Structure 1
Amino acid sequence: MSSEEADTIELDSSSHIQVGAGLDAGDDGHLSPTTHSNSVYETRYQKSLRHYLTREALPKESHYRNLNSIVDGSGVRPTLDDLHNNTLREEQRRTGADPEAAAANVRGKVIKFGWLEGVYMRCLLNIWGVMLFLRVSWMVGQAGVVSAIAIVIMANLVTIITTLSMSAVATNGRIQAGGVYYMISRSLGPEFGGSIGLMFTVANAIAAATYIIGFCNSLLDLMKYYFNNAQIFDGGINDTRLIGTITLIAVLGLAIVGMDWVTRVQMGLLFLLIGAQVDFVVGVFMGPLTDEAASQGFVGLNSELLTRNTGPDYRPFEGKEQGFFTIFGVFFPAVTGIVAGANLSGDLKDPASAIPKGTLGAIFTTLVTYIIYPILIGASMMPDASGDVDLYRANMNITANFWENPVFTNESCSKIGKTDNGVELCEFGTQNSFQVMELMSAWGPLIYAGCFAATLSSAIASLVGAPRVLQALAKDKLYPGIYGFSKGSGANNDPVRGYILVFVISLACIMIGDLNVVSTLLSNFFLASYSLINFSCFHASLIKSPGWRPGFKVGWLFSTLII
C-alpha cells in the first residue's frame, strides 16, 4: 500500500483498534498499531493513520521511575525541595546514595542524639536558668505567693500550647537541621517560616546575653559576700560588661569546638544544677543554723508567715514602678527554653519523636519546681531584714512573734544608708536581695555553683541554637544578603559565621548590663515567636491544607480550640 493510499483510508466509525504502548514496524517496513488484549483505544474520531501517528506516546513507567531502584534502592526521586533549591546532590551526600560525593564529604565523626540527651536534658538546662536563682524570690516578695504561682502557671501555659503546636508541626514530615524554622517553612511555606526563623535567631541571641548577665550578677554577689567586697571597676554595671564579654568569648569558643564537647559540658552542669536545688530544699527544712542567717530574714518554715506573704506588696525597684505584668515580663524568660532541643533538630536521631517527648517532659518537670519553690520561700523568708545580729538577739525573746522583731522592718536599716529615691531600704529579704536561695540553702557555695551552671548552660544552648536556625534560613535565600551564613564547617556542618553574628548581637545586649531590662526585651521577642508558631499551626488546621498531616494531633487541635 502506498503512502498516498494510506493517507486516504477512512476507518469505519464502529471499528476499534487495540493498541498498547506504541507502534510496531511490519514486514514491509511500515508502522502498524501494536495489539494487546488488555487495552482498547477508541478511534471513532480518528480520520487517518497520519493523525494517529502524530499523537503523543502513552506514558511508560520507565519514564517516571528508575527501575534499577528495585534492585539497589538508590534511585530515590528528588523532593520538590531538592528541585527548587538544587539540593539533590547535598541530599545524596547525606543519605549516602552518592558514594563518591559521600566519600568526599566525610570529614569527621557525625554526632546524633536521642530524645533524652538531645532534647530533654537541653530543655531542662535552658529552663532552669538565671531566673530560678536570682528572680524567683524577688517575684515572691513583690507579687506574693498566690500571684507568683499565677505568673508561673500563665507563663507555662504559653509554653505548653506552643510546644503542642510545635510538636504537631514536627510530626508533619521529615525534619532536618534548622529547628522551628525548618519545621514551619516546610509545612506551611516560607512566609511563616522566614518570619519565625528570623525572630528566633534574634531572641536566642538576646537570651544568651540575658543568661550571661545573670552569671555576672551572681559572680559579683559572690565576690561581695565571700571576698570582702572585691570588685574590678565599680562592682556594678561596668564589672558586668567586662566579665560578660570575657564569658561570651569563652562560650563562643566552646560552641565552635563542636557539639560533642558541648554535650559533655552540659551533662556535668545538669548534675551540678540538680544538686544545687536539692541543697536548697534541704536547707529550707533544716531552718536557719545561725542567728546571722535569721537576722537576714530566713526564719524557717512557718504557716503564719506564709499567710502574711500570700498577697502582693509591689514596690518601686530601681526607680521603676512594679506590677503584675512587669513581674511577669521579668520572669517569663525563665520558661523560654522549650526550643533548645528543637533548634538542634539536625543533630537528632529521630526529631519527630524526640521533640514532643523531650520538650513536654522538661516543661512538666520544671513546672513542678517553679510552683514548689515560691511556696517554700514565702513560708520561710521575710520581705525585709537588716541583718543586724545584735538587734535580732536583743528582741528575739521580747516579741511574741518573730516578724514583730524590729530587725525585719525598713526603719532598722537606716544605718546602712541604702536608699531608693530617698526611701530607706534593707539589704536583705525577698524584696531587697537576689541571693535568697543561697541564704536558705544547707551549703551556700553550692547554690552559687548551681547558678553558674544554670546561666552558663542556658547561654551555651542559646548560642548554639541560634546560628543553626540562621543557617537554615540563609540556605533558602528568603532575605537578601544572608546566604553567606548558610556555609558550615566540619562533619556536623557547624555554622561558624552564624556564631559570629550572634556573638555581636549578644555583646550589644551585654553592654546594657541590666538584667531586668534585657529580660523584658527578651520576653517580647519570645512571645512574638510563640504567637507565630501557634498561629501557623492554627492556620494549617483551619484551611485543611492537603499536606497538613501531623502525627501529633493534640497540638493543632488544641491550638485551634484556643485561638
Structure 2
Amino acid sequence: MITALGLHCYVDAIFNGRDGVPKENSPFINNTEHDKNNSYDGTNMALFEEEMDSHPMVSSLLNKLANYTNLTQGAHEHEEADEEEGSKKKAITSPQMGTFMGVYLPCLQNILGVILFLRLTWIVGTAGILESLVIVGLCCSCTMLTAISMSAIATNGVVPAGGSYYMISRSLGPEFGGAVGLCFYLGTTFAGSMYILGTIEILLTYIVPQAAIFRAERKEEAVDALLNNMRVYGTCCLILMAIVVFVGVKYVNKLALVFLACVILSILAIYAGVIKSIFEPPDFPVCMLGNRTLQNHGFDKCLKTEVIDNLTVTTKLWSVFCDGPDLNATCNEYFVNNNLTLVQGIPGLTSGVISENMWSEYGPLGMLVENKKLSSFGGSDPTKDIYLPYVVNDITTFFTLLVGIYFPSVTGIMAGSNRSGDLRDAQKSIPIGTILAIATTSFIYISSVVLFGACIEGVLLRDKFGDSVEGNLVIGTLSWPSPWVIVIGSFFSCCGAGLQSLTGAPRLLQAIARDGIIPFLQVFGHGKANGEPTWALLLTAGICEIGILIASLDSVAPILSMFFLMCYLFVNLACAVQTLLRTPNWRPRFRYYHWALSFLGMSLCLAIMFISSWYYAIVAMVIAGCIYKYIEYRGAEKEWGDGIRGLSLNAARYALIRLEEAPPHTKNWRPQLLVLLNLDSDQGVKHPRLLSLTTQLKAGKGLTIVGNVLQGTYLLKDAEAKKAEQNIKSAMSAERTKGFCHVVVSSNLRDGVSHLIQSAGLGGMKHNTVLMGWPETWRQSNDPESWRSFIGTAH
C-alpha cells in the first residue's frame, strides 16, 4: 500500500532534485525569497502536469493510485487539459511580451477613444467642471476597483481564451459565467457600433460633409437626415470592417500600434494647444445674437449690415432673419432688438473663463445655447426660434444621462488580461500594466476636464458639433498645430477601436460556445480551418448592425455601459466571494486586494447602472437572468470548483449547525422520510411509484432519503452499489422526487437496514418517518426471511 508520506517524499524528490535544491516553486508554499529566484514564478499545479506525465515513475504511481481509488477524470477535465496543453504550445511559439507592450499599451488604446474626442468637451460644458469631475471620478473609481479585483483573479492561475468570461465562469460557476460572458460579448459588440458611429460622425461632420446622401430642406428635418446618413454609411463601414477582420485579422493587430500612435499624438496636440493658449490663443470667434449662439454656416461675417463704397448693404445673415435683403424688410423681432457680437471661443488658460464654466447648464431638447454674460433684450419666443440658425440642444440633458454616455470611455481595462497567454510574466504584468493604464487615462481625463473648462468659452463647449466655429471639432479648436491633427487622429482611433471590437467579440463568443454550457450557441464555436470564428463574426456583425440602425452615438453609449457594468460587477463579486470563502485554490500573487474593496466596486457598478439609466439596467439584468436560468435548466453540467458551490457548502454547514441547536417546533414539523426501496437482480427499482407517494406525503417539502441495502462485501459490491445508486437517482428524476440517495452494502440485510436507519441524515436533517413496501407473496414464499426482514425492519 502507498502511504501519503511516501508519496509526498517521492514528489518532493522529483521537484527538488536529489541534491535538495528546489527546482520548482510549490503552489502551496508562498515563499517570497524563494519566488524571487524562481523561473516559474506565479505558476500553479496545472503547469507541472506535462513534466509529471513525462516521468515514467510518476505516471505509473499516479495510475496505480487512480486504479486503487477508482477515480476517473471527466470528459471536461480532458478537454481543459487539451486546451491548457495547446495554450502552453502557443505560449512557446508566440512572442513573449512584457508589461508595457503586452498590457499597458493595449489597455491605453482600448480606454482612450471616441468619447474623449467627440463628447468630453460637450459633457464639460453641459455639466460644468465640478459635476464633470464627479462623473469622471465615479467612473474611474469603478474601473480601478474592478482592476484590483481582476488582478487578484487573473494572478490566481493562467487565464486562457475568453478573458473575463473565463475568470467569472471558473469563479462563480457556468450559470453566472455564461450570463455575464454573453453580457460582456454584447457590450463589446455594441462598442463596435459606437466606434463605427463615431467614425461616420467625424467623416460626415468634420472631414467631408458634402458626402452626405440625405440632405434636409428644412431645419426640422436636419436630425432625421443626419441619422439616415449615419445608418447608410455605418452599414457600409461595418461590412468593410467585417471583411477586413475575416480576411486578415493579423493586419488588424499589426495596425494597432499605428492607431494608438494617432491617439497619443492627438492628446499631445491638445496639451500643446493648452500651453500655446497662454501666450497666443487661437482665433476661433463665435458669433452671438444677443446672448444666443449662432451657427456659422453659410455666412462669413457676423454683421447685420456693412458699408461698401459708402453704401449700406445687408449681409447674408440679414437674409436669414428677414424676409428679404432690403433694409426695409420685415425682420425677426429678436434680431431687430439685439446686436451681433463676436466672442472669442478659445480665450486661453489665463482668461479666467474657468469660473464661469464651474456650474452646469442642463436643458431640454431644443434649448438655445446662450451666454449668460451677454445681455438680451427679449423679443420673440425662443421655442419658436429653434429653426433659425441658432445652436440648440439636440437631446435633453441631465446628470444621469451624461454618466451613461461617458462611462464607455473608461472601459477596456481587460485588454491585458485577455492576452495573458502572450505575456512573459502574466502574474506580474497584468496588475501593474492595467492599474498604470487606468491611472494614466484617469489623469488624462481629469486634466482634460479642468483644461477644457479653463481654456474654452462655455457656449463653444456646449456646441456639440462645432456649428458656431464653421463645423470644426470643438476639441480640435484647442489643439496645436492644426485642428486637423485631432480630426484625423480621432478618425483613425475610432476605426482601429471598431476593428478591435469586431476582432475580440467573435473570439469571446467562440470561447463561450466551445465550453458547451449554452447548447444553441455551439454552432458558433466552429470557424475556418485555422480556428478563426467565422460564424461568430457573422452574428457579431448582425448585432452590431442593430446599434448602427439606432444611429445615435448618445443612445448607443448607455446600452454598452450596462453590459460592461454588469461584467465588472460580477468580477468584483467573484473576487469578494473567493476571498470570504478562503477556498484552498485561492492564492493570487497580487496581494493588494481586499474583499471590502471588491464589495465597494460591486456596489459602485450597481449604483452607476441605475444612475445612468434605470430602465436599461433592469433590461440588462433581465437578459442576464434569462441566460442564467436557461443555462441552469438546459445547459450542460459543468463542475469547475466555483465559488457559488463553495458558498452553498458554507451556507449548508451553517444551517445544519443551527438546526442541531434545538429540536424543531411543532409549527415547523414536516415528515422527513427515509424510503426503503427494493431492487431486482439487475439493480433496477421494483416499485418506482413508491417515490410518487413520497412526494405526495410531504407535498414537495421536507427531507427525503431514498435508501437500499445490498448484501455482500463492500470491496466486491462497489460497482453494483454505484449502479444501484444511479438507477435510484434516475427513478427519482422520473417521478420528480427531490432528495438524496443512500446505498449501503452489508453482509446481513437486517443489520444493513438497522445501520441505514441509524446513520442516514446529518445533524438536524434526519428522518422521522420510514416508508417501505409491503413484502410480496409472503404467504406463498418458501423463504421465511422475506417476512422476517420486514418485521425486523418495522421492529
TM-score range, shorter chain: 0.7 to 0.9
- For residues 267 and 365 of structure 1, the distance between their equivalents in structure 2, rounded to whole angstroms, comes to 18
* Corresponding position of 1:312: 360
- The verdict on how the C-alpha distance between 1:560 and 1:266 changes in structure 2, with shifts beyond 3 A counting, is closer
- For residues 506 and 67 of structure 1, the distance between their equivalents in structure 2, rounded to whole angstroms, comes to 46
Q: Contact conserved, 2:125 with 2:458, CA < 8 A, in 1?
A: yes
* Corresponding position of 1:116: 100
- For residues 427 and 515 of structure 1, the distance between their equivalents in structure 2, rounded to whole angstroms, comes to 18
Query: Which of 195, 198, 213 matches 1:214?
Result: 198
* Corresponding position of 1:525: 563
Please show how residues 153-552 of structure 1 align to structure 2 within 5 Å. 153-223=137-207, 229-234=210-215, 236-287=226-277, 288-290=281-283, 292=285, 295=343, 297-317=345-365, 320-384=395-459, 427-428=467-468, 435-442=473-480, 443-489=482-528, 493-552=531-590
- For residues 67 and 154 of structure 1, the distance between their equivalents in structure 2, rounded to whole angstroms, comes to 49
- For residues 176 and 502 of structure 1, the distance between their equivalents in structure 2, rounded to whole angstroms, comes to 21
Q: Contact conserved, 2:227 with 2:551, CA < 8 A, in 1?
A: yes
- The verdict on how the C-alpha distance between 1:240 and 1:173 changes in structure 2, with shifts beyond 3 A counting, is same
The alignment yields a C-alpha RMSD, in angstroms, of 3.5
Query: Which of 46, 55, 59 matches 1:70?
Result: 55
* Cα deviation code 1:340-366 (max 9, x no counterpart): 333344554544433322221211111
Please show how residues 49-60 of structure 1 align to structure 2 within 5 Å. none
- For residues 75 and 354 of structure 2, the distance between their equivalents in structure 1, rounded to whole angstroms, comes to 61
Q: Contact conserved, 1:188 with 1:536, CA < 8 A, in 2?
A: yes
* Corresponding position of 1:130: 114
- For residues 85 and 136 of structure 1, the distance between their equivalents in structure 2, rounded to whole angstroms, comes to 50
Aligned residues between the structures = 452
Task: Please state how far the C-alpha of 1:70 moved relative to its aligned partner.
Answer: 2.6
Q: Contact conserved, 2:263 with 2:489, CA < 8 A, in 1?
A: yes
- The verdict on how the C-alpha distance between 1:291 and 1:245 changes in structure 2, with shifts beyond 3 A counting, is closer
- The verdict on how the C-alpha distance between 1:353 and 1:487 changes in structure 2, with shifts beyond 3 A counting, is farther
- For residues 228 and 191 of structure 1, the distance between their equivalents in structure 2, rounded to whole angstroms, comes to 48
* TM-score (structure 1 length as normaliser): 0.72
- The verdict on how the C-alpha distance between 1:186 and 1:326 changes in structure 2, with shifts beyond 3 A counting, is same
* TM-score (structure 2 length as normaliser): 0.52
Task: Please state how far the C-alpha of 1:93 moved relative to its aligned partner.
Answer: 5.0
Q: Contact conserved, 1:129 with 1:458, CA < 8 A, in 2?
A: yes
Q: Contact conserved, 1:142 with 1:312, CA < 8 A, in 2?
A: yes
Corresponding residue SS for 2:255: helix
- For residues 426 and 94 of structure 1, the distance between their equivalents in structure 2, rounded to whole angstroms, comes to 49
Corresponding residue SS for 2:214: coil
Task: Please state how far the C-alpha of 1:512 moved relative to its aligned partner.
Answer: 0.8
* Cα deviation code 1:316-369 (max 9, x no counterpart): 245643222111111111001112333344554544433322221211111111
Q: Contact conserved, 1:466 with 1:502, CA < 8 A, in 2?
A: yes
One-letter amino acid matched to 1:338: I
Task: Please state how far the C-alpha of 1:92 moved relative to its aligned partner.
Answer: 4.6
Corresponding residue SS for 2:520: coil
- The verdict on how the C-alpha distance between 1:172 and 1:488 changes in structure 2, with shifts beyond 3 A counting, is farther
- For residues 421 and 522 of structure 2, the distance between their equivalents in structure 1, rounded to whole angstroms, comes to 19
Q: Contact conserved, 1:152 with 1:371, CA < 8 A, in 2?
A: yes
Worse overlay, 446-455 or 540-549: 540-549
Q: Contact conserved, 2:347 with 2:353, CA < 8 A, in 1?
A: no
Task: Please state how far the C-alpha of 1:71 moved relative to its aligned partner.
Answer: 6.2
- The verdict on how the C-alpha distance between 1:516 and 1:427 changes in structure 2, with shifts beyond 3 A counting, is same
Worse overlay, 283-292 or 129-138: 283-292
Task: Please state how far the C-alpha of 1:111 moved relative to its aligned partner.
Answer: 6.0
Corresponding residue SS for 1:233: coil
Task: Please state how far the C-alpha of 1:232 moved relative to its aligned partner.
Answer: 2.3
Q: Contact conserved, 1:258 with 1:494, CA < 8 A, in 2?
A: no
One-letter amino acid matched to 2:552: D
Task: Please state how far the C-alpha of 1:211 moved relative to its aligned partner.
Answer: 1.0
- The verdict on how the C-alpha distance between 1:507 and 1:95 changes in structure 2, with shifts beyond 3 A counting, is same
Q: Contact conserved, 1:169 with 1:183, CA < 8 A, in 2?
A: yes
Task: Please state how far the C-alpha of 1:236 moved relative to its aligned partner.
Answer: 1.1
One-letter amino acid matched to 2:141: L
* Corresponding position of 1:35: none
- For residues 428 and 96 of structure 2, the distance between their equivalents in structure 1, rounded to whole angstroms, comes to 14
* Corresponding position of 2:37: none
Task: Please state how far the C-alpha of 1:249 moved relative to its aligned partner.
Answer: 2.4
One-letter amino acid matched to 1:551: R
Corresponding residue SS for 1:210: helix
* Cα deviation code 1:67-105 (max 9, x no counterpart): 873369999999968644645455555546xxxxx9xxx
Task: Please state how far the C-alpha of 1:281 moved relative to its aligned partner.
Answer: 1.8
Please show how residues 142-153 of structure 1 align to structure 2 within 5 Å. 142-153=126-137
- For residues 273 and 409 of structure 1, the distance between their equivalents in structure 2, rounded to whole angstroms, comes to 23
Q: Contact conserved, 2:513 with 2:523, CA < 8 A, in 1?
A: yes
Higher relative contact order (CA 8 A, sep 6+): 1
- For residues 545 and 241 of structure 2, the distance between their equivalents in structure 1, rounded to whole angstroms, comes to 12
Worse overlay, 202-211 or 344-353: 344-353
* Cα deviation code 1:402-442 (max 9, x no counterpart): xxxxxx999xxxxxxxxx9xxxx99438xx98821111112
Corresponding residue SS for 1:312: coil
Task: Please state how far the C-alpha of 1:278 moved relative to its aligned partner.
Answer: 1.4
* Cα deviation code 1:509-532 (max 9, x no counterpart): 111100100001111111122111
Worse overlay, 503-512 or 460-469: 460-469
Structure exhibiting the larger radius of gyration computed from Cα positions: 2
* Corresponding position of 2:339: none
Corresponding residue SS for 2:213: coil
- The verdict on how the C-alpha distance between 1:242 and 1:67 changes in structure 2, with shifts beyond 3 A counting, is closer
- For residues 436 and 538 of structure 1, the distance between their equivalents in structure 2, rounded to whole angstroms, comes to 43
One-letter amino acid matched to 1:380: C
- The verdict on how the C-alpha distance between 1:341 and 1:217 changes in structure 2, with shifts beyond 3 A counting, is same
Q: Contact conserved, 1:343 with 1:468, CA < 8 A, in 2?
A: no
- The verdict on how the C-alpha distance between 1:291 and 1:530 changes in structure 2, with shifts beyond 3 A counting, is closer
Task: Please state how far the C-alpha of 1:445 moved relative to its aligned partner.
Answer: 0.8
Q: Contact conserved, 1:541 with 1:560, CA < 8 A, in 2?
A: no
* Corresponding position of 2:319: none
Worse overlay, 251-260 or 181-190: 251-260
Task: Please state how far the C-alpha of 1:246 moved relative to its aligned partner.
Answer: 2.3
One-letter amino acid matched to 2:55: I
Q: Contact conserved, 1:111 with 1:260, CA < 8 A, in 2?
A: no
Corresponding residue SS for 2:566: helix
- The verdict on how the C-alpha distance between 1:81 and 1:133 changes in structure 2, with shifts beyond 3 A counting, is farther
* Cα deviation code 1:239-270 (max 9, x no counterpart): 21122122222322333345532222110111
Corresponding residue SS for 2:141: helix
Q: Contact conserved, 2:466 with 2:473, CA < 8 A, in 1?
A: no
Q: Contact conserved, 1:330 with 1:516, CA < 8 A, in 2?
A: yes
* Cα deviation code 1:293-318 (max 9, x no counterpart): 78562222235210111111112245
Worse overlay, 207-216 or 290-299: 290-299
One-letter amino acid matched to 2:158: R
Q: Contact conserved, 1:269 with 1:457, CA < 8 A, in 2?
A: yes
Task: Please state how far the C-alpha of 1:561 moved relative to its aligned partner.
Answer: 5.7
Corresponding residue SS for 2:266: helix
